[in-house]
Amino acid sequence: MWWTEKGHLEVGNNQLYIGGMNAVELASKYGTPLYVYNGNKIKGNFERLNAALSAHTDNYRIHFAVKANSHIQIQKLAYDTGAYADCVSPIECRMALKAGLSKERVLFTGTSVSNSDLEDLVNLGVRINIDSVSQLRRLAKLSTKPELSVRWNPGEGAGAGLHSHTITAGKYIKFGIPEHKVLDTFREAKALGFKVVGLHQHIGSGWLGDDVQVFHDSVRRTLNVANQAQEILGSAFEFIDFGGGPGIRYREGQTPFPIEEYARGLIEQVRAEGYRGTIAIEPGRFPVGESGILLLEVNTVEEKNIPIVGVDGGFNTLIRPAFYESYHEIVLANRVESDDRQEVMVAGNLCESSDVFNCSKKELREIAMPEEGEILALLCAGAYGFEMASTYNGRPLPAQVLIMDGKDHLITERGTIESIVGLQKIVV
């Protein structure tokens, strides 16, 4: 089994273990749907990133992309390894502060940012990475002028191997300031009295082995813009943030992203251009994606027009298959290795025909055939899993459990009807 990993996902007595804990017993103890995270795996991934960069420079920092998994306990694991925060909303910024991070270590990078958001960010005192000229001009009208960095669009994205929605640079992309406007933006920021301390790029998410060269090409373009921008400003940048993107393997045939090659190539290019400031990156999926497992109970095994395996969660629990046509390995936690394997539709419990955990409703998946009451584990669900969950169809949010050093901890209570309707009012 390609997905097994010592200390993370292992098989004992033909049952699945997560961080040394029996998945079936966890499902019985906490109920399903249930997200389970291996905290030691998360810390190990941040340590690998630190090692890859520190092998070539001491002047770097890692900004955890909070949108991948914003739970304050998960964030704290990242910050305990020295990480900063990359946030995309004022509330994410507040969550990072609540998790123990100082405001100087929080960088906000948002898009279509409202005036109320800007006021909130200024009051919080976090750094702001501007995404548009409009945002810059509206920010200038506030009484306080915070330190800024500028997000530019390098014109070419990466991550199409995962889904086109994960590409964040190029012509038909809403993010960042395009090349033909970016230098004028620095001139305007200087004229408006802002202190511009950095430059930011982000070209996509979910990179695999073939994407590393596209990233390195974007680094060259960003360094070229940085050199011109620093001349305009008359001062050196404190940092250049080269964004996130390193992905994980969701299926056996995918090529792992070469973290060490990525780090070495990045730093070599930076040195060749003579840049001496801080190098920043902002991974999200890579450190937390593999750590999370979604456990679901099988409630229906039946032949309809096609064989159906029904479970007690839907795309309200994990939307990636329905939204991105994403592949998640599906493991029968009770009987991992079974000779009875069949092609089935793994169907959720929502009133939507797209509510399946296959890559699409017309693509069956060969799995170990479960019995009703057994537990299916969907792997690599730690990034953009619970984070994108909803209460659609009146289904409450799932519980979340953290495994750390062989002990399980409930970190999110299962949702209730009050958590769904608690803010609603009947007025007539």
Active site residues per annotation: 351
Long-range contacts of 112-116 (CB under 8 A, 24+ apart): 112/174
Return the H-helix or E-strand segment holding 230: helix 212-233
| DSSP element (H, E) containing 181 | helix 179-191
What residues contact residue 353 under an 8 Å CB cut-off, 6+ apart? 361
Q: Which residues of 120-156 are buried (b: 16+ CB within 10 A; e: fewer)?
A: bbbebebbbbbbbbebbebbeeeeeebebbbbbbbbb
CB atoms within 10 A of CB 74: 26
Whole-angstrom distance, CA of residue 22 vs CA of residue 406: 10
AA letter at 70: S
- Burial zone of 2 (CB within 10 Å; 0-12 exposed, 13-18 middle, 19+ buried): exposed
Among candidates 274, 359, 349, 351, which has minimal Cα distance to 314?
349
Cα–Cα distance for residue pair 167/169, rounded to 1 Å: 6
Specify the amino acid at residue 251: R
Q: Provide the token pair at 151.
A: 């997000």
User: If residue 10 lies in a helix (H) or strand (E), which one and from where to where?
Assistant: strand 9-12
Beta strands of 157-243 (E only): which ranges?
177-178, 196-200, 239-241
Measured between alpha carbons, how far is 84 from 103 in angstroms, rounded to an integer?
A: 10
